[in-house]
Structure 1
């Protein structure tokens, strides 16, 4: 393995593992079920596949060269993240544990909100994919990052395809691992109070991130 490829592995791993909207959505859906968490993780990897394919094909350059198109994608991405954040906050607000027969809620670890149970595999897969695919900064990042690790004199296309495949592979390892870890800790994480706090925190993070993206787009 050459030095540039080794360096790229480190950069790509840090880029994939950096907490953001992808990470937050995976954790949130993994609280609903293992299958929902893994499906979301696979959706995120699918979104990365789109971005890397665009970078390899050179189409990301078009997105950068056409400001209106870039801003449109940015606005859509920000709006979707904002939607997910508001949905999570609403879910956290209405989350209740099972009653103990007296009308009060209990803090039983197996208590799950109906909204949480409603996260199906297809919906989770779609959420993961759209959260990543609608991130307009990703194609710009890949377009600027991948060429830096193509050695002088090397054929650009095969090397770029290899680098893109590494990013997607790392995502296929990292995000399902996060989902499985959350599921592993699920008995504690799914306690109504804990789950409500996590969902509220993730919803707040997504809402702020979405609002920043939308506001930043409209102000430019």
Structure 2
């Protein structure tokens, strides 16, 4: 592995591990069950796969070049993340202890968590811009662009497939403590506030421009 690839891996690892909407939504689902958390984590990685594919194809440049499209995506993403935050805060305010939501059979629940992780990530408008600006910095001068960019994109997705399921498994491992009613409400409240805050910031930022 060359020095540039090592440097990119370090930068990408920090980017993937940085707490944000993806992290919060994985933690919230992992509190429900291990399967829900891992499914959500895989969904987040799927969203990253879409962003990296767009960057490789050059389509992410269109979002940057056409402000209306970027703003539309930003508003949609902000509203969805705000919705998730409000759901979490509503769960905290319910009189009954926080319990995993019964939403159809187990397969339906896993599918819902998978979609939740995917949509949380894929509707993040900052991700394509980040990839579009980051990936070219690690393509050596004169090297074939497409194979190198595909390799860099694969590293990002692989890191996400390691990090987010690991977060879900850690939360599940600590489940005996995290699922205590008082602790669960605290975690639910923190993640809900974080998601709602991120949603408000995204929506307000898009409207103000």
TM-score range, shorter chain: over 0.9
Decide whether the 8 Å contact of 1:96 with 1:192 is kept in 2.
Answer: no
| Alignment-derived partner of residue 118 in structure 1 | 102
Q: How far apart are 1:178 and its partner, in Å?
A: 0.3
Q: How far apart are 1:118 and its partner, in Å?
A: 2.5
User: 188, 203, 209: which is aligned to 1:199?
Assistant: 188
Greater radius of gyration (CA): 1
Q: How far apart are 1:117 and its partner, in Å?
A: 3.3
Name stretches of at least 5 consecutive residues in structure 2 with no aligned partner. 104-108
In the alignment, the residues of structure 2 paired with residue 80 and residue 27 of structure 1 have an alpha-carbon distance, to the nearest angstrom, of: 17
| Alignment-derived partner of residue 86 in structure 2 | 86
In the alignment, the residues of structure 2 paired with residue 159 and residue 133 of structure 1 have an alpha-carbon distance, to the nearest angstrom, of: 23
- Runs of at least 4 residues off by over 4 Å: none
Q: How far apart are 1:92 and its partner, in Å?
A: 1.2
| Alignment-derived partner of residue 200 in structure 2 | 211
Decide whether the 8 Å contact of 1:33 with 1:117 is kept in 2.
Answer: no
In the alignment, the residues of structure 2 paired with residue 94 and residue 202 of structure 1 have an alpha-carbon distance, to the nearest angstrom, of: 16
3-state SS of paired residue (2:140): coil
Aligned residues: 204
Name stretches of at least 5 consecutive residues in structure 1 with no aligned partner. 98-111
3-state SS of paired residue (1:117): coil
In the alignment, the residues of structure 2 paired with residue 88 and residue 123 of structure 1 have an alpha-carbon distance, to the nearest angstrom, of: 15
In the alignment, the residues of structure 2 paired with residue 197 and residue 161 of structure 1 have an alpha-carbon distance, to the nearest angstrom, of: 41
1:149 aligns with 2:138: yes
In the alignment, the residues of structure 2 paired with residue 33 and residue 52 of structure 1 have an alpha-carbon distance, to the nearest angstrom, of: 29
* TM-score, L = length of structure 1: 0.91
